[in-house]
Amino acid sequence: MTRDNLRKRHIIKPLDCVFCAEQETNRHLFFDCVVARNIWSFVNIFFQKNLGTNFETVAQFWISNKKNLALNVVSSAVLWCLWKYRNSMIFNNTIWTSINQVWRLIHGMLKFWMALTPEASKSQV
């Protein structure tokens, strides 16, 4: 994680998750944290899939030859926005108030990425 690398450079930041205060790891941030679990739960229900438990469950849909294009766009946005919001809290001192902040970031990212999405998949995204 970034903070591990900062520690090597003697820039000390706590190693706790900014969302839930548990020990932060890649897996925790993207899948095990209560915030990530809540988001993945919604994505799973919407797409009627079971992903968001680890990187392999997300990646298995990336090799499906555009069959799951909307799901891949959404899962990429979830991963990217969890990372971006976490970094914003650490490095820009953004204040956490609720999971709605992350949802708004995901929603905005998806709206931005819609320009790159084929017409056939836009309704699902």
Instruction: Please give the average per-residue pLDDT across 115-119, as a whole number.
Output: 73
Residue 20 has pLDDT above 80, yes or no: yes
Look at residues 14, 41, 30 and name the one whose alpha carbon lies nearest to residue 82.
30
DSSP sequence for 49-93? ----SSHHHHHTTTTSTTTTHHHHHHHHHHHHHHHHHHHHHHHS-
Q: Do residues 125 and 70 touch, judged by C-beta distance below 8 A?
A: yes
d(CA 3, CA 5): 5
- Please, are residues 59 and 52 in contact by the beta-carbon 8 Å criterion? no
Identify the residue with better confidence: 26 or 82: 82
Query: How far is 19 from 4, CA to CA, in rounded Å?
Result: 17
Q: Which two tokens stand for residue 93?
A: 């001192």
Domain hosting 105: range is: 2-122
The domain total for the chain is 1
Three-state DSSP at 43 gives helix
Q: pLDDT tens digit string along 61-106?
A: 888 767 888 888 899 999 999 999 999 998 888 999 999 999 999 9
